[in-house]
Amino acid sequence: MRSSRRRSHRRYTSSREARHGELLSQVIREGYGEATWSYGYVETLSYVGSNLLSHQRAVKWLITAICTQPEALTFLRTLKLARTDLDDPRPLACFRGLRELDVSRTAVKSLDWVGAFPALRRVDVSGCALPKGALKEAMALNPRVTFASSKS
C-alpha cells in the first residue's frame, strides 16, 4: 500500500513540475517574458509590463507558479518584474541565489522584505510609492544591497 502511494505521489509531483516548466516555456515562447539560460538553467527571468499600457501587468499568478516548484529556477540570479502589479516580493525569497531584483514601478510600498533574500545585491525600486525614510532605513539595515531609486 505504501509503495503505491509513493508512486502516485511521484507521478503527481512530476506532472506538476512538467506543467510549471511548460507554463514558463509558454510565457517565453509567446513573448510575454524573456529568459537567459546557462548550462540548461534559467539565470535571468524578465516579465516586464509595457509603458504603452495604462495598467500594470498581472504577475501574481506567475509568482505562485514559479514559487511552487522553485527547482526549475535553482540558479536564477536576476529577476525583472518592473511595471507589474507586484506588491509583496517575499514569496520570491525561495530563490536563495537571487542577486538582482527589479521591482521598479510596481505596487511595492515597503522594503522590510529585503533581508529575506540572502544573496541579494541590487534592488531597483524606482517609481515605487515608498514611505518617506523607507529607502534610507533599508539601506542602513541591508548594507550589502545597492538600491536604485528615483528618490534620494
CA atoms within 13 A on the CB side of 64: 4
What are the cell numbers at 96?
536563495
Strands 34-38 and 41-46 turn out to be antiparallel
Q: Per-10-residue mean pLDDT for the chain, 152 residues long? A: 40 40 74 82 86 75 85 90 95 95 96 97 96 95 94 58
- Is there a contact between 87 and 111 (Cβ–Cβ < 8 Å)? no
Beta strand pairing status for 122-124 and 78-80?
Answer: unpaired
- C-alpha neighbours within 13 Å on the C-beta side of residue 46: 10
Contacts 24+ apart (CB under 8 A), 67-70: 67/91, 67/92, 67/94, 68/16, 68/20, 69/16, 69/17, 69/20, 70/94, 70/95
What cell numbers appear for 116 in the block? 529575506
d(CA 149, CA 152): 7
Alpha-carbon distances of 39 from 44, 76, 81, rounded to whole Å: 13, 12, 23
Q: Flag whether the pTM goes above 0.85.
A: no
